[in-house]
Structure 1
């Protein structure tokens, strides 16, 4: 049975994705999985804004997006990162097409709070029929999280939340957050499965620290009413756990039952 798998590739990890990652993606596809990729591009956007001497600020962890900045966001995400990632997928022998979320009304959004965040949106609707059409033709959609509003404004959507929304709307079997780490480690050992409650404890006791904290928090946000498990996997040293799953740490919102 064919199952949909949504992979969120962080902006900082796109250039570091290994050949093994794409080979494994191909293996997953051959095993009957239907991959959908949603990518970010925060570091590249930051670099371009600094190059153009455009000042920006973060409000509650979100980059406040003006009309001028939206031009840069779209240029970087849909004009640079998206085609670069699509080429890598195609080079691996996988049919892929890069799409902006504003194409075909793929990602529709409403402003979170225009006065506070500007053109930052949250996904309100997804053109799942178009995605299903591509998957039926064995084409991997590579989605840039630039959305369109009913007001015809473009909106900058956080890639983590966009990936979660896409996975939920498609009824995906898996939601994978592709990073530059193998997963959550405890004393050097990879933890194959943890609960959100355990993650909070690991953050409190220092097991999870530094740059790993935002990674696990982003993954936890992917746990919605429809998505009960998410995974953190390594894009640099990608390994297959079995024919239909990459190796990494599975995060679940379910409580583990103690024996």
Structure 2
């Protein structure tokens, strides 16, 4: 498995509130984490970094191994998310400069070909396979609630004035219940983990076009970030791109 990651401030933001990290504890055992601090709230950059660093620290101290079953990994992720939520909530309550801070959070534990994802917020995970890209997460957003109820359509969702309003975030609730999913990757497949600064600017079709190019993984990641900036760059842009190569 090969990983590359990128983060970019974009064209409209004064600071970068995204934070990400990829850490390998043993061959074939990797944690990838990406967080997008809540825009418009105090200390969004603090919340995103706290969440990512909390999970990485827990992962490096955990007893998870490549043959840990999906149930054990899922339980670890749920506990880690609860811990991160508690840590950020406590700081937000005790420090006036951090009041109201929160963050999205997506994490993936890669165990060779098996990947377990946990998700809170509107950052996304996609799986590219055989010329198609499939979303593996569902946004925890107000607009998505309206979509599910049929009150608005996809076109209206893209320009809705409250499209950035989250229904779930790390640090803003007493308890948290992440969505968790395990998949098994096949040779030639890619996983794209990204903040909405990428997914709001770059279409799924454009992602497919970039991934299919005859280029290195690093070049593909750079192209996706450049494309998001070319098409507006309205938010911070972050992604973790991974590929299962032949023989992995």
- Structure with more relative contact order (C-alpha pairs < 8 Å, separation 6 or more): 2
TM-score with structure 1 length normalisation? Answer: 0.34
